[in-house]
Chain A
Amino acid sequence: MSQNTPDKDDQSSTNKKAISLPISRVRLIMKSSPDVSCINQDALFLTTKATELFVQHLAVASFNNGPGKETNSLCYTDLANAAEETETFHFLTDILPKKIFARDYLQSLEQMQENDNDDDPDF
């Protein structure tokens, strides 16, 4: 029944490996959550598999939003945009903050301070 393809690094579509992520590492990450005591084997498998799906999902979603500056190249900004625009990925916005240049930030800061000075307290 098992047609073994011994190549572990075979990246072609004929690769028959079931899972491409190390389960032990997944367990380690799971156990780092507070109050987690025991993890069922099924749960571990499902989480590992789901993680694969997640990586695919995130990569495709970010890529489809339009690769950033360079054509056809997925970069950090694409990921940050996807996190903000796709509701499913909202939980990533804290670790995927958008980047701006320092000078833009400082300019905006100055502008905001000016706006504060101009505002009349009318409520």
Chain B
Amino acid sequence: MDGDSSTTDASQLGITGEYMASGHYVLQSQDDDGEENLNDHDDGGIKENFREQDIYLPIANVARIMKNAVPQTGKIAKDAKECVQECVSEFISFITSEASERCHQEKRKTINGEDILFAMSTLGFDMYVEPLKLYLQKFREAMKGEKGIPGVAVGDGLGDELTDDSFTNPLPAGIITADGQQQNVMVYTTSYQQIPTVQQIQFS
């Protein structure tokens, strides 16, 4: 077994990363093209022969959000974008299953906003909760304003309707930031704005 062979096929080696002392590992081919079996169908409509785990959000949207989040001069590799796509689906499933479980425990059938917020808090995303509450409040007000009926249930066309800018007004709010310090910040409810509370999270 010479070490310089390029045997990257894990099935030939018959082993996974479980022998490694720390963490998981996968074998990387020498010429890493970063395109394993990632989705080819990330644009265009959903086909019915999708496996459940192949459902991703469109890579253009994901990439755009990433691009706006990192510094202006930063670049993002293609495999990183594809990877974040998968992470996003994982995140959604993660939150949903936690919220769903709580729903079942309380013998309810419909997952509501509270379940989602609670799930996030439980799973370590409590820094999102406060900004999300504000967004939700604004969303509700906007929907009321447009429909003229409080608490209206909107159907599947919601995705289109929300592309209208019902959210042009910034949120004047005294927000408790992640640091626990209150400050008056204008939260612009546009998707590309960095949320002050998120910015204050120490990532290092």
* Chain A interface residues (CB < 8 Å from chain B): 1-5, 8, 11, 13, 15-26, 28-30, 32-47, 49-65, 67, 70, 72-76, 78-79, 84, 86-88, 91-103, 105-110, 112
Contact = CB atoms under 8 A, between A and B. Distances in A.
Interface string B147-172: 00000011010110011111111000
A58 B120 contact: no
Nearest to B194: A56
Contacts of A91: 90-91, 94, 123
29 contacts: A1-B169, A15-B192, A17-B165, A18-B165, A18-B166, A19-B159, A20-B64, A24-B156, A29-B96, A32-B55, A32-B93, A38-B110, A43-B116, A45-B162, A46-B113, A50-B95, A50-B128, A50-B132, A51-B92, A59-B76, A67-B74, A73-B74, A74-B74, A74-B77, A75-B80, A84-B23, A97-B25, A103-B4, A110-B3
Interface in B1-40: 1, 3-8, 13, 15, 17, 19-20, 23-30, 32, 34
Contacts of A84: 23
Contacts of A25: 46, 55, 57-58
Interface string B85-113: 01111111111110110001000011111
Contacts of A33: 93, 96-97, 100
Contact of B84 (A11, A13, A17, A58): A58
B167 A20 contact: no
A86 B192 CA distance: 24
B182 interface: no
Given A11-B68, A38-B110, A99 B190 contact: no
3 shortest A-B CB distances, which residue pairs?
Answer: A42-B113, A16-B165, A99-B28
Q: Max chain A CB contacts within 10 Å: which of B25, B117, B145, B156?
A: B25
A123 B3 CA distance: 34
Nearest to A73: B75
Contact of A76 (B19, B74, B77, B191): B77
Given A42-B112, A72-B75, A97 B17 contact: yes
B204 interface: yes
B198 interface: yes
A18 B163 contact: yes
Nearest to A13: B192
A4 B165 contact: yes
B136 interface: yes
A40 B110 contact: yes
Given A26-B57, A96-B83, A51 B27 contact: no
Contact of B28 (A17, A79, A101): A101
B83 A79 contact: yes
A13 B8 CA distance: 45
